[in-house]
Amino acid sequence: DAGVIQSPRHEVTEMGQEVTLRCKPISGHNSLFWYRQTMMRGLELLIYFNNNVPIDDSGMPEDRFSAKMPNASFSTLKIQPSEPRDSAVYFCASTPGASGEQYFGPGTRLTVT
């Protein structure tokens, strides 16, 4: 299995631009998570889906952030408009079932200038 796939691996953009991060979970996994990691705040859960349905988006920092999961094999995290304080590494993770262990993708390093 290829594991969780994220794209792009690196993104540099200017303030005000729209950014879309993509994730392909491991086939057969029923839950998907988006995290943000920074030195200051550590690993933060932004949103998670179960069977493609958003369950908890209380970690989404503000309305500029949105996430979708149109099918079991694809999810996006969009930031519009982006700001320099959004610079972070964004991880996607998926989990197969009852024991809840999460498998992380390699992350997308976002830099907003």
Partner 1 sequence: GEDVEQSLFLSVREGDSSVINCTYTDSSSTYLYWYKQEPGAGLQLLTYIFSNMDMKQDQRLTVLLNKKDKHLSLRIADTQTGDSAIYFCAVRLSGGYQKVTFGIGTKLQVIP
93 binds partner 1 (CB under 8 A): yes
Please say which residue, 54 or 81, places its beta carbon nearer to partner 1.
Answer: 54
* 30 backbone dihedrals φ, ψ, rounded to 5°: -105, -5
Peptide linkage before 61 cis (omega within 30 of 0):
no
Antiparallel, parallel or unpaired: β 10-13 and 108-112: parallel
Span 58-87, contacts to partner 1 by CB under 8 A? none
| Binding to partner 1, residues 11-30 (CB under 8 A) | none
| Tokens 């309305």 found at | 63
Work out whether 106 is an interface residue with partner 1 (CB under 8 A). Answer: yes
Q: How many chain residues touch partner 1 (CB under 8 A)?
A: 22
